[in-house]
Amino acid sequence: MSETPSRRIDRIQPFRVMALLAEARELEQQGRDIVHMEIGEPDFPTPPPVVEAATRAIADGKVHYTPAVGLSALREAIAGFYQDRYGVSVPAQRIVVTPGASGALLLALGVLLEPGQGVMLADPGYPCNRNFAHFLDARVQPVPVQADTGYQLSLALVQQHWQADTRVVMLASPANPTGTLIPSAELEAIIDWVERQGGTVIVDEIYHGLIYGESPPTALGCSERVIVINSFSKYFGMTGWRIGWLVAPGELIPGIDKLAQNLFLSASTPAQHAALAAFEPQTLDILEQRREAFEQRRDFLLPALREIGFDIKVEPQGAFYLYADCRRFTDDSFAFAQALLQEIGVAITPGNDFGDNQPQRHVRFAYTTSLARLQEGVRRLQQRLAPDG
Amino acid sequence: MSETPSRRIDRIQPFRVMALLAEARELEQQGRDIVHMEIGEPDFPTPPPVVEAATRAIADGKVHYTPAVGLSALREAIAGFYQDRYGVSVPAQRIVVTPGASGALLLALGVLLEPGQGVMLADPGYPCNRNFAHFLDARVQPVPVQADTGYQLSLALVQQHWQADTRVVMLASPANPTGTLIPSAELEAIIDWVERQGGTVIVDEIYHGLIYGESPPTALGCSERVIVINSFSKYFGMTGWRIGWLVAPGELIPGIDKLAQNLFLSASTPAQHAALAAFEPQTLDILEQRREAFEQRRDFLLPALREIGFDIKVEPQGAFYLYADCRRFTDDSFAFAQALLQEIGVAITPGNDFGDNQPQRHVRFAYTTSLARLQEGVRRLQQRLAPDG
C-alpha cells in the first residue's frame, strides 16, 4: 500500500514534452544542435533593474517571511499597474501575491471548489488547469474548441456545456497553446452569464502583456466577482523566481489568506522585492522591446510554417505560441515530434499535452528562441517536410 | 454562491498568532517596545556564503525554470549531507527539492491520501499539518499527547488510535510547539509497526539541525519507505527563500514529480543555487555557532520561565520553542497572551494554534530573539506575574 500513490495521481498525466525535452538534452550532450521550439519559457533573462532590486534586497537582509498575501508595497504596486495600464481601479486588499501563477491557480480553485464540482475549460488548453482540478477531486468538464471560436470558449459553448454542478469556468486570454484572445464583448457576456448562474469565472491573463496589436481591457473591468490570475514569469521575464498574483472578490480574500498561510507561508521574499522593480519605467521599456521582438518572431514564423504546410487556422494575437494542424504530415503528432527531434534536431510540443481534442493532429511551436534560431528551424523543417516547396 | 468559499476553507483555522502579530506591529508603530517571543523564525540572517551564492547565480542569469524535482546538483548535495552528517546513503533520485517544507508536505500528503482517509498526528502539533489534510479532504485523527510521552506519539498511542482508514502517521522530531524529540527506538518501532499495517510514516525533521546535546539518527536510517520532510528555512537560515526538500520511497517519485510539475513547476531557481552553498564547511561553521547561541538561549529561558511559575514539564532538546502550562496565571491562554502584549509588550503564542488538547492552558515561547531581548522579556514577565518572586 505504501508505494501506491493516491488515485488523484493516476488522473494527472505527465507532460509528454518532458520526455522530449530529456531526449533533446541527451542529443545535445552527444553534440547534436537542437532548435528549441518546445519550451514555454522566454529566452530573455530577467530585466537588469529587477536583478538589481533582488541583489539589493538580499544584501539588505530582506530574506525573512512576508505576510502570506504578500508585501504591502508589492500589492500596492500591482494595483498601480492596473490603474496605469488599464485604467482600472483595483484595491490592493483584493490582490494576493503568490508563488507563480501556479500558486495563484491552486489558491483560486482551492477556495472555490468542493470535491465533485465541475470546472469547465477549453480543450486544447493549459494542461495544469485540468490537473489542479484533479488534485482537488473536482470534475473536469473539457469543452472541445475549434478554429471557429479562435479555440476559445464562447458564450454559446459555455451555455451549451453548463451543467448543474458546474462551479467554475476557466478562461485564458491570450491562451496556451493557441495564442488567441477572447473578444472583449464575448468575455463580458460569458462572465455576466456565468455569474448569473452562481458560478465564478477565472481568467488567466499571464500572457496579457504579450499581445501584438491593440491591447484589450483586463477582465477585472467586467466584474468585481471575476478572479484574475497573473504572473511575473512570462511578460516580466521572471520564470525561475516563482512569483505571480491573483485578484479575487474581497469576500474570498480571508479564505485565500488562510490557504496561503498553510500551503505556502508566503511567496519568495527576494522575488517579491525584485518584482517591485518590474513596474519601473526603465523595466517597462525593456519589456516593450521584448514584446516587439516576440512580435517579429511571430511575423516570421507564422507564414513560414504555413508555407511548409502546417495549417494554422487562427492568427494568434498574443503569447509566444503557434498551434498548428499537422495532418498533412502525420496522424500521430507525438511520433512526428519525436521524428523531427531525432532526424533534424527540431524540438516541438505534441498536441497530447493540451487535451483530448484531436491532439494527434496538432503540435505547438513556441517562439521563445531568437529569430536566427527560428530561421534555422524553419530551414530544417522545410528541407524535411517540403523539399520541393 | 460566488463569494462562498469551499467547505475545506471552513475547516481550516486561521493562525491566532497572526492577530497578535498584527497587534504587536501596531503597538510598535505607536512607539511601544515589543519583545517578540511569538515568531517561529530565527532572527539570524541568511549565512553570507549562501547570500553570495545567490547573488552570483542571479548575476549569471540562473533564473530560468529547473526540473520540477530540483537541480541535480542540489539533490546530490543533499544526498551528500545525509552521508556526511548521518552516515546514511540516500540516492539523489529519492530526493525532491520543494518550495519550503510547506511544498514538501503538500506533495507528500497529495501523493498518499485519498479523500476520507485518515492522518494521525500529535495534538499539540504544527497547525499546518492538520490543514494540509483538510485541504485534501482527508480525515484528521488527532491524538492528544501529554508530558509522559514528551508530547510525542508513542508506539502504544499509535496502536491505540489506529483506525481501519488510517493511511498516514505524521511525526515531528524535534516538534513544534514543544521542542521535544522522539526517542530513536520508539521512532523505529512506530515506523516498523505502521508499515506492517500498510500505512506510511512522514517524519518532519526541519528542526533536526537544531538539537542541543547528542544528535540522533535521521528516520531515513529506519526504513526506505518512510517519507522525511526537511527545509533550508530553520537550521540553514533561509526562511524567506522558500526552499526545502523531501525524501520518499523511489516508487513514489514519479507521482511526486507529476504533482510538482503541475502544482509548482519548480522551486525558486535563485534559492536552489543559493542552497548549494548551505552545505559548505564555512556555512556549517556559522550554523554551528548559531546552534550554540540557540542552546544558550534555551538554557537561560527554560529555568527563568519555570521560576516565574510557568510549568514546562519536559525539557525540550531541540528547535527554538518552549511549551508551557500557564494554568497558574490563566485559564484562557489567548486572553492571557493579549494581556501580556498590551500590558508589558511581550508577544507569545497562545495554545489555540496547536490543536484542541487543553490549548487554553498552554502558551508557546519562541527563543528566536537575542539573549538580551529574552532577558528583557523575562524581566517584564517576572514583574507582572511574580512581583514578589
B 75-114 → A contacts, CB under 8 A = 99-100, 102-103, 106, 110-114
User: Which of B251, B278, B305 marks a domain boundary?
Assistant: B278
Is B160 an 8 Å CB contact of chain A? Answer: no
**What's residue B13's pLDDT?**
85
Chain A interface includes B72 (CB < 8 A)? no
Q: How far apart are CA A280 and CA B128, in angstroms?
A: 37
User: Does one domain contain both A318 and A299?
Assistant: yes
- In DSSP notation, A321-358 reads EEEEE-TTT-S-HHHHHHHHHHHH-EE-EEGGGG-SSS
Q: How many inter-chain contacts (A to B, CB under 8 Å) are there? A: 212
Taking contacts as CB-CB distances below 8 angstroms, the residues of chain B near A238 are 63
- Co-location of A212 and A333 in the same domain: no
Residues of chain A contacting residue B266, judged by C-beta atoms under 8 Å apart:
240, 242
Q: Please give the share of chain A, as a percent, with pLDDT higher than 70.
A: 99
| Domain co-membership, B225 together with B85 | yes
Residue among B196, B148, B145 nearest B171 (CA): B145
- Which of B127, B242, B269 lies closest to A240 in CB terms? B269
The set of residues, in sequence order, having a beta carbon less than 8 Å from that of B210 and lying 6+ positions away, is B174, B234, B235, B291, B294, B318, B319, B320
The arithmetic mean of pLDDT across residues B120-136, rounded, is 96
Query: CB A6 to CB B271 under 8 A?
Result: no
Task: Please answer yes or no on whether A45 and B61 come within 8 Å at the CB atom.
Answer: yes
Which of B114, B199, B241 lies closest to A63 in CB terms? B241
Same domain, A235 and A351: no
Closest residue of A to B47, CA-based?
Answer: A61
- The answer, for B152 touching chain A at a CB cutoff of 8 Å, is no
Q: Do B263 and A102 touch (CB under 8 A)?
A: yes
Please state whether B196 falls in left (phi above 0), alpha (psi between -120 and 50) or beta.
Answer: alpha
Contact B5 A111 (CB under 8 A): yes
Residues of chain B neighbouring A241 (CB-CB closer than 8 A): 63, 268-270
A115 contacts B115? CB cut-off 8 A: yes
**B1 found inside a domain:** no
ipTM of the modeled complex? 0.95
Do A212 and A184 sit in the same domain of this protein? yes
Give B343→chain A minimum CA distance, Å: 25
Whichever domain contains A108, its CATH number is 3.40.640.10
A42, A240 Cβ separation under 8 angstroms? no
A65/B264 CB distance under 8 A: no
Q: What region does A325 belong to: left with phi over 0, alpha with psi -120 to 50, or beta?
A: beta
Distance from the A131 Cα atom to the nearest Cα atom in chain B, whole angstroms: 7
In a domain, A261, yes or no: yes
Measured between beta carbons, the chain A residues lying within 8 angstroms of B46 are 58, 61, 63
Nearest to A5 among B2, B241, B252 (CB): B252
How close B309 gets to chain A, by Cα (Å)?
Answer: 32
**Tens-place pLDDT, residues A362-376:** 999 999 999 999 999
Q: Do A56 and A159 fall into the same domain?
A: yes
- Looking at the structure of chain A, the number of domains it has is 2
* A51–B55 C-beta distance less than 8 A: no
Cα–Cα distance between A154 and A64 in angstroms, integer?
45
- At B281, phi and psi to the nearest 5? -55, -40
Q: Any CB–CB contact under 8 A between B200 and chain A?
A: yes
Cα(A354)–Cα(A30) distance, integer angstroms: 30
Check whether residue B133 and residue B249 sit in a common domain: yes
Nearest-CA residue of chain B relative to A58? B51
- Kindly give the pairing relationship between strand A200-204 and strand A166-172: parallel
Give the domain extent around B362. 7-45+283-385
Q: Which residues from B are below 8 Å from A114, CB to CB?
A: 6-8
Quick one: B120 and B170 in the same domain?
A: yes
Interface of A with B in 234-253 (CB under 8 A): 238-242, 249, 251-252
pLDDT at res. B65: 92
Q: Do B46 and A54 touch (CB under 8 A)?
A: no
Q: What is the pLDDT of residue B38?
A: 94
Give contacts of A 263-302 with B, CB under 8 A: 263-271
Q: Which residue of B has its CA nearest to A19?
A: B67
- Both A224 and A103 in a single domain? yes
- Give a yes or no: residue B298 inside a domain: yes
Question: Are residues A138 and A219 both part of a single domain?
Answer: yes
From the list A71, A56, A44, A43, the residue with the least C-alpha distance to A268 is: A71
Residue A22 lies in a domain: yes
- Domain holding B296: CATH number? 3.90.1150.10
Residues in chain B within 8 Å Cβ distance of A112: 5-6
What's the gap in Å between the CA of A22 and the closest CA on chain B? 10
Q: Kindly state the DSSP code that residue A221 receives in the 8-state scheme.
A: G
Domain match, A23 and A58 both: no
Last residue of a domain, which of B223, B245, B278?
Answer: B278
Are residues B268 and B70 in contact, defined by beta-carbon separation less than 8 angstroms? no
Eight-class DSSP state of A267: S
Which residues of A are less than 8 Å from B2 in CB distance? Answer: 195, 198-200, 225, 249
Query: What percentage of residues in chain B have a pLDDT greater than 70?
Result: 99
Which chain B residues touch A132 with a CB distance below 8 Å? 262-263
Residues B151 and B265 in one domain: yes
Q: Supply the pTM of this predicted model.
A: 0.96
Q: Give the per-residue pLDDT at A2.
A: 52
User: CB distance B239–A264 less than 8 Å?
Assistant: no
Instruction: Kindly list the residues from chain A whose CB atom is less than 8 angstroms away from the CB atom of residue B139.
Output: none
Residue A23 lies inside a defined structural domain of this protein? yes
Higher pLDDT, B25 or B155: B155
**End residue of a domain, out of A278, A293, A323:** A278
What is the C-alpha end-to-end distance of chain B, expressed in Å?
58
Contacts of A46 in chain B (CB under 8 A): 58, 61, 63
Q: Do A242 and B1 touch (CB under 8 A)?
A: no
Asked whether the beta carbons of residue B262 and residue A127 sit closer than 8 angstroms, the reply is yes
pLDDT at B389: 60
Average pLDDT, chain B: 96
Domain annotation covers residue B130:
yes
Q: What is the largest CA-CA distance in chain A?
A: 63
pLDDT at A389: 61
Q: Give, for B97, the enclosing helix (H) or strand (E).
A: strand B95-98
Contact between B63 and A41 using a beta-carbon 8 Å cutoff: no
Residues 322-381, chain A, touching B (beta carbon < 8 A): none
**Any A CB within 8 A of B46 CB:** yes
- Residues B367-382 have a mean pLDDT of 98
Q: Is residue B216 part of a domain?
A: yes
User: In this structure, what C-alpha cell is assigned to residue B111?
Assistant: 501523493
Residue among B125, B386, B53, B89 at smallest CA distance from B224? B89
| A6–B59 CB contact, under 8 Å | no
Each residue's pLDDT tens digit, B205-254: 999 999 998 889 999 999 999 999 999 999 999 999 999 999 999 999 99
Residue B2 has pLDDT above 80, yes or no: no
Residues in chain A where the model's pLDDT stays below 50? 1
Tell whether the torsion through CA atoms of A301, A305, A306 and A312 is positive or negative: negative
Phi, psi of A189, deg, nearest 5: -65, -40
Query: Does a structural domain hold residue A2?
Result: no
As a whole number of angstroms, the distance between CA B23 and CA A385 comes to: 68
- Nearest chain A residue to B127 by CA: give it: A262
